[in-house]
Amino acid sequence: MIGFGQAGGKIVDKFLEYDRRTGSEIVRAAVAVNTAKADLMGLEQIPQEQRVLIGQSRVKGHGVGADNELGAEVAEEDIGEVQGAIDGIPVHEVDAFLIVAGLGGGTGSGGAPVLAKYLKRIYTEPVYGLGILPGSDEGGIYTLNAARSFQTLVNEVDNLLVFDNDAWRQTGESVQSGYDEINEEIVKRFGILFGAGEVRQGQEVAESVVDSSEIINTLSGGGVSTVGYARETVERKGKSGGLLSKLTGSDESIEDQLDSANTTNRITSLVRKAALGRLTLPCEIDGTERALLVMAGPSAYLNRKGIERGRKWLEEQTGSMEVRGGDYPINNSDFVASAILLSGVTNVPRIKELQQVAIEAQDNINEIREESEANLQNLVEDDEDELESLF
Ligand code: GDP
């Protein structure tokens, strides 16, 4: 996992914290790349030797502002430094690269596509992007940066997973505490998804467990992806029945049947909630090319029938012929969650809106630039052009 720029670094840092907290082992290795020294110093989990400061000769550790063209140039010039950090990673042990970046800024916005292009040339492992779109209140330049970076990055990665800050921002919060919460959401959603592909020691290996190859197959074919998520708290129980059966001593088989029907219903309703609720990138799910349903939770609360029904329902809703599904048993958890990866979505009004605002911003910027050149000319030159410059 490579975090490019401030948002990218912070999110990868959060993934590491999530891994430590839950034992998910999603991140085989983490690297942070930035042009701003202070941003790298603010990270907590990523090891010091895996933090790469680029562009020192150009920006002296102060960042590129929101200039993503400069971000791209600097990444190109110093790609060797990034490679140096990747050299310390046993790449043969990773399933894929994931480059995380905020697309509205400068360093990540410009650098992520450069790095993706480079990694694809050097390695055979898939290279995915996790791109963060700016909030619409961030202003024209951020929107323009994001629209240009999005377009470039989609073409360089094997799949671009998108998270839209705009859909997740909450009013009345400071930007920082707002981001902390948003980053938790990002890590929770993508964590369940990526965590599903990892087989941990001591984990029950159910028949229908999701394998990393299923995630890779769902993402293959490229394009843009979004993730839905829903969860419900459940009581912890053993595999042999609910709390109720122990208290009442009621007939095990009827109890089991009821349990199984409840489990199935819970799963199908969680699948609907995840797909129809807020997606990381809001879009129309009809027309999705491929999908993957992951049901996570204690194995006593997961059943094949529920997942099969959920999968069928997703097929109908998306019109896709390629909907995969499986379990992610987490036996010490007190919740059941469904995470749905919708890959190859094309009906995304938010992207069209972003592009429209970006074009307006671009036109305005050009207009203002021309105007201010003319204004400066007017100010500096005397009206009758009687004065001459020294040289
Ligand atoms: P860079 O360092 O030049 O790549 O730029 P930043 O990463 O600071 O900012 C780029 C964009 O990312 C901003 O416009 C925000 O939309 C977004 N952003 C910044 N920090 C965070 C964060 O912690 N979480 C999330 N979700 N988005 C962030």
CA distance linking residue 271 with residue 311, whole number of Å? 8
ipTM score assigned to the predicted complex: 0.99
Average pLDDT over residues 268-277: 97
Q: How far apart are CA 357 and CA 263, in angstroms?
A: 46
Q: Is 108 annotated as a binding residue?
A: yes
The correct CATH number of 2-195 out of 3.40.50.1440, 3.40.50.2020, 3.30.2090.10, 1.10.760.10 is: 3.40.50.1440
Ligand 1, atom 22: closest residue by C-alpha: 7
With beta carbons less than 8 A apart as the criterion, state whether 115 and 2 touch: yes
Ligand 1 neighbourhood includes 127 CB (under 6 angstroms):
no
State yes or no: 165 annotated in a binding site.
yes
- Ligand 1 binding pocket includes 13 (Cβ within 6 Å): no
How far away, in angstroms, is 9 Cα from ligand 1 center?
9
Taking residues 82-96, report their average pLDDT. 94
- The pLDDT of residue 245: 46
Q: Which of 4, 130, 165, 186 to mutate to test the pocket of ligand 1 (most atoms within 8 A of CB)?
A: 165
Ligand 1 neighbour 35 (Cβ under 6 A): no
Residue 257 annotated as binding? no
pLDDT digits (tens, 9 = 90+) for 244-255: 544 555 555 777
In short, whether 9's Cβ falls inside 6 Å of ligand 1 is no
For 117-146, write each residue's pLDDT tens digit: 999 999 999 999 999 999 999 989 999 999
| CA of residue 215 to ligand 1 center, whole Å | 26
Mean pLDDT, range 96-103, rounded to an integer: 98
For residue 325, the model assigns a pLDDT of: 94
55 annotated binding-site participant = no
The mean pLDDT of 215-241, rounded to a whole number, is 87
Alpha-carbon span 28 to 102, nearest angstrom: 22
105 lines ligand 1 (CB under 6 A): yes
Q: What is the pLDDT of residues 19-55, one digit of tens each?
A: 999 888 899 999 999 999 999 999 999 999 999 999 9
How many whole angstroms separate alpha carbon 355 and alpha carbon 357? 6
pLDDT grade, residue 170 (50/70/90)?
confident
Q: Which of 292, 91, 264, 108 is nearest to 189 (CA)?
A: 292
* 7 marked ligand binding residue: yes
For residue 81, give every residue at least 6 positions away whose Cβ sits within 8 Å of its Cβ, in sequence order, or none.
Answer: 52, 53, 54
Taking the domain 220-343, which CATH number applies?
A: 3.30.1330.20
Residue % of the chain over a pLDDT of 90: 80
What's the gap in Å between 230 CA and the centre of ligand 1?
25
The structural domains of the chain, with segments of one domain joined by +, span 2-195, 220-343
CB-ligand 1 contact for 266 (6 Å cutoff): no
Structure-derived torsion over alpha carbons of residues 8, 46, 76, 107, reported in degrees to the nearest 10: 30
Whether residue 280 has its Cβ less than 6 Å from ligand 1: no
Rounded Cα gap, residues 274 and 296, in angstroms: 13
